[in-house]
Amino acid sequence: MPAYVEIVNKILAVGTIFLQLVIIFLIVNYLFFRSRENKVLLFFKKYTFYLGFLIALGAVLLSLFYSNVVGYPPCELCWIQRIFLYPQLILFGMELYKKDRSIVDFSIAFAILGSITSIYHIFVESGVTSGISCADPSNGGVSCAVRYIYEFGYVTMPIMALTMSLFIISILLNYKYIVRMK
């Protein structure tokens, strides 16, 4: 494995932890400091679609980087997570171009399905359950239990995917809340 992959893994792990802290910060503001004048909620409402687009773009590019450049073969659960991830980039891109705000519910649905898949993948990866949809490595398949990234004792690819999906859910729910308040 090239040395730059270790650096990329560390940067992504730190970014994942930072995004998790942002999600917690947003939830705390939403639950305890909910008002029309809350600057945090207003900030995330104003930049919802830019942030969503950037997160989706980064996730798509990194998934392609790991599979096509580094050579990590995606397992079946990774492919399912990508099925729910790749449309996010298109939806947020359309939103930035058209500005009609019609993608919110579709994007939330994709993010929820991606979160469910990520949670299941985390269980498979940690050995809690065996993957019913995972390929048999003895027949040339890719095991869903293989950890290609394992930083800081818990950051793996499914954790990164879950964090991205939860971030998208939280900013979109905040957007819907602020729009309804006005």
Q: Is the pTM of this model over 0.75?
A: yes
| CA pseudo-torsion sign 117, 122, 128, 132 | positive
Indicate if the pLDDT at residue 2 is higher than 80. no
Average pLDDT over residues 90-98: 90
Q: Residue 15 — very low, low, confident or very high, per pLDDT cuts 50/70/90?
A: very high
Task: Give 101-156 pLDDT, tens digit per residue.
Answer: 788 889 999 999 999 999 999 988 887 776 666 666 666 677 777 888 888 888 99
